[in-house]
Amino acid sequence: MIEVSFSVNGAAHTLRVGPGERLIDVLRGRLGLTGTKEGCGIGVCGACTVLVDGRAENACLVPAASLEGASVVTVEGLSTDGLDPLQQAFLDHHAIQCGFCTPGLVMSARALLDENPEPTEEEIRTAIRGNLCRCTGYEQAIAAIASVAGTGARALLDEQAGLIRSSARLEAGVPFARTPPTSTPAPEGGDAR
Ligand code: FES
Ligand code: FES
């Protein structure tokens, strides 16, 4: 056993931890912070993503013994005053079904926006590539993150808004306006074929 001192969501902790103990074991089992989920347990699914010194890390891969002096933020620590804007955006964009992946996605997004407040769509996709979602898919999550981001991802939102408007027109039975085909002017001295 080794004694380590670190903070979680701003609260200081000193714990004796075993050699096989992981950060996720400490968070869920010893501190009761069950917002962080364990999916695969081997660093593949991203459900356990938390911030360690500002970086997105898989809590299932971080040895508790390595935490001396670290500052850990979990999904419970994102906001002390209601929902974090990212959490609200996930709700607003219907980016949640079962919700198991959501804390990890939100934490990856928070790490991205803290470092790069105006990411491009590609940068958002890259930031969450380690977060697997098996029921909602990724487009709503990307739109949610883009809505909180600055101008870099606005084109994506505009495109999605266009798709939503088109789909609403279809549901309402409104046909798309088609541009009538233009006749090709005949070249001088020839016919238009
Ligand atoms: S539980 Fe940590 S990456 Fe899957
Ligand atoms: S919302 Fe169910 S796995 Fe992502």
What total number of domains does the chain contain? Answer: 2
The reported pTM is: 0.81
Q: Do both 40 and 108 map to the same domain?
A: no
Q: Do both 85 and 158 map to the same domain?
A: yes
Distance CA 62, CA 147 (A): 31
Q: Do both 57 and 84 map to the same domain?
A: no
Q: Which ligand is nearest to the CA of 144?
A: 2
Tell me which of 77, 95, 129 is where a domain ends. 77
Which band of pLDDT confidence, cut at 50, 70 and 90, is reported for residue 192?
very low
Q: Do both 56 and 83 map to the same domain?
A: no
Mean per-residue pLDDT over the chain, rounded? 86
Q: Are 96 and 88 in contact (CB under 8 A)?
A: no
Q: Do both 72 and 104 map to the same domain?
A: no
pLDDT of residue 81: 86
pLDDT of residue 172: 58
Q: Do both 117 and 158 map to the same domain?
A: yes
Mean pLDDT throughout 5-19? 97
Q: Does residue 20 belong to any structural domain of this protein?
A: yes
Which band of pLDDT confidence, cut at 50, 70 and 90, is reported for residue 189?
very low
**CATH number for 17:** 3.10.20.30
Nearest C-alpha to atom 3 of ligand 1 is from which residue?
43
Q: Do both 91 and 122 map to the same domain?
A: yes
Q: Which of 177, 34, 36, 32 is nearest to 107 (CA)?
A: 36
C-beta 57 within 6 A of ligand 1? no
How do residues 131-176 score in pLDDT, each as one tens digit?
Answer: 999 999 999 999 999 999 875 555 556 565 665 555 555 555 554 4
Q: Do both 65 and 95 map to the same domain?
A: no
Q: Does residue 64 belong to any structural domain of this protein?
A: yes
Q: What is the DSSP letter of 28?
A: I
Tell me which of 19, 51, 77 is where a domain ends. 77
E strands in 53-164: 55-58, 71-73
Q: Does residue 182 belong to any structural domain of this protein?
A: no
Atom number in ligand 1 closest to CA 59: 2
Residue 32 has pLDDT above 50, yes or no: yes
pLDDT of residue 80: 85
Distance 33 CA to ligand 1 centre (A): 16
Q: Which of 176, 111, 175, 103 is nearest to 133 (CA)?
A: 103
**CATH number for 100:** 1.10.150.120
Distance CA 187, CA 121 (A): 45
pLDDT of residue 52: 98
Distance CA 138, CA 132 (A): 9
Atom number in ligand 1 closest to CA 39: 1
Mean pLDDT throughout 16-29? 97
How do residues 41-98 score in pLDDT, each as one tens digit?
Answer: 999 999 999 999 999 999 999 999 999 999 999 999 998 889 999 999 999 999 999 9
Q: Do both 46 and 118 map to the same domain?
A: no
Which domain range does residue 163 map to?
Answer: 79-173
Length of the chain: 193
